């Protein structure tokens, strides 16, 4: 079985981005700038934000985190986003989710200027993705597609089954897989909690993508021999982190698979950094828009 190493791939991308920023640096008036908004004191979000800050620093992206208390109201948050939208020194705005109860994340995300929406969650960017137009793409599914490209695992003409239809993973991933292009062009089936006889569907997959949020949910009897399996799940269990796939059960049956941790997870941050660099180049007139 080919182990798809997301950690090494993400590191390679970070090195490439660092080089790119350095190479452009002389022609640019400033480095890329990413502003993260963290509302409340969710400990997991604090860890994610720290990881993003560290990754930005490593590649040469200037990052700043605006911390707001959990009782921040929508008007204050919207005003902050409007100020950042208007600030020519800010390339990317990332609103860390989940927001505390009482704040509507969809409404807040829609306030972010689409050209600074490095998470790719704005309806305009989602619409562009659905239409097959250029735009920022959500980082986790973009990371999955990048892994396929870098490992030369083309789903073109193959049956891709995506289990999960969330707006941040399953749905955008299914759109990306179904687009035209050498590392897309798949025939896509999207499954969810109401799918009848899920194993019968997943067994048809040449490429199987698990984005469910249930530890080791995909078992060996649910996959076809020789399938490519991408496990997006990150589940905390008593024995540590695990994916949505039963890695040990699948490993002798599939052709290629991502581990958890060290698979899709590191790619998500790498794609965020790439989106921030793309925004920077567009804002400084140094490259194409996203």
52 is known as an active-site residue: yes
The torsion angles phi and psi of 187, rounded to 5 degrees, stand at -95, 115
| Residue tagged active-site, from 91, 119, 231, 246 | 119
Half-sphere exposure of 64 (CA within 13 A, CB side): 12
265 is a site residue for ligand NDP (CB under 6 A): yes
Token pair of 179, please? 């687009």
Residue given tokens 């993003």 in the structure block: 52
The torsion angles phi and psi of 173, rounded to 5 degrees, stand at -65, -40
CA-wise closest residue to 158 among 46, 255, 60, 44:
255
158 is known as an active-site residue: no
> Of 195, 206, 255, 284, which one interacts with ligand NDP (CB under 6 A)?
195
- Residue number, 84 or 169, with CB nearest to ligand NDP: 169
> Of 211, 229, 256, 277, which one interacts with ligand NDP (CB under 6 A)?
211
> Of 140, 174, 275, 278, which one interacts with ligand NDP (CB under 6 A)?
140
203 is a site residue for ligand NDP (CB under 6 A): no
Token pair of 87, please? 């600030």
96 is a site residue for ligand NDP (CB under 6 A): no
165 is a site residue for ligand NDP (CB under 6 A): yes
> Which residues of the chain form contacts with ligand NDP (CB under 6 A)?
140, 163-166, 168-170, 191-195, 198, 211-214, 232-235, 244, 264-265, 268
Task: Give the active site residues.
Answer: 52, 96, 119
């Amino acid at each position: 079985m080919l182990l798809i190493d997301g950690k090494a791939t993400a590191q390679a991308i970070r090195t490439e981005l660092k080089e790119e920023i350095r190479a452009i640096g002389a022609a640019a008036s400033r480095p890329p700038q990413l502003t993260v908004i963290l509302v409340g004191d969710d400990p997991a979000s604090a860890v994610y934000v720290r990881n993003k800050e560290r990754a930005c620093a490593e590649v040469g992206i200037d990052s700043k985190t605006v911390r707001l208390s959990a009782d921040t109201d929508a008007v204050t948050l919207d005003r902050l986003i409007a100020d950042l939208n208007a600030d020519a020194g800010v390339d990317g705005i990332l609103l860390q989710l989940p927001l505390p109860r009482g704040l509507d994340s969809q409404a807040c995300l829609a306030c972010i200027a689409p050209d600074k929406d490095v998470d790719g969650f704005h309806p305009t960017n989602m619409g562009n993705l659905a239409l097959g137009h250029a735009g920022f793409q959500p980082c986790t599914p973009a990371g999955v597609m990048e892994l396929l490209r870098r490992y030369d695992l083309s789903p073109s003409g193959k049956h891709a089954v995506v289990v999960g239809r969330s707006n941040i993973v399953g749905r955008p991933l299914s759109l990306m897989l179904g687009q035209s292009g050498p590392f897309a062009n798949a025939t896509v089936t999207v499954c969810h909690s109401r799918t009848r006889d899920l194993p019968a569907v997943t067994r048809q997959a040449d490429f199987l993508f698990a984005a469910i949020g249930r530890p080791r949910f995909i078992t060996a009897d649910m996959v076809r021999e020789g399938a490519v399996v991408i496990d997006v799940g990150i589940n905390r269990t008593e024995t540590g982190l695990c994916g949505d796939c039963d890695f040990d059960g699948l490993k002798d049956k599939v052709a290629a698979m991502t581990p958890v941790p060290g698979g899709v997870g590191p790619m998500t941050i790498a794609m965020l950094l790439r989106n921030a660099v793309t925004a920077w180049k567009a804002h400084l007139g140094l490259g194409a828009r996203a």
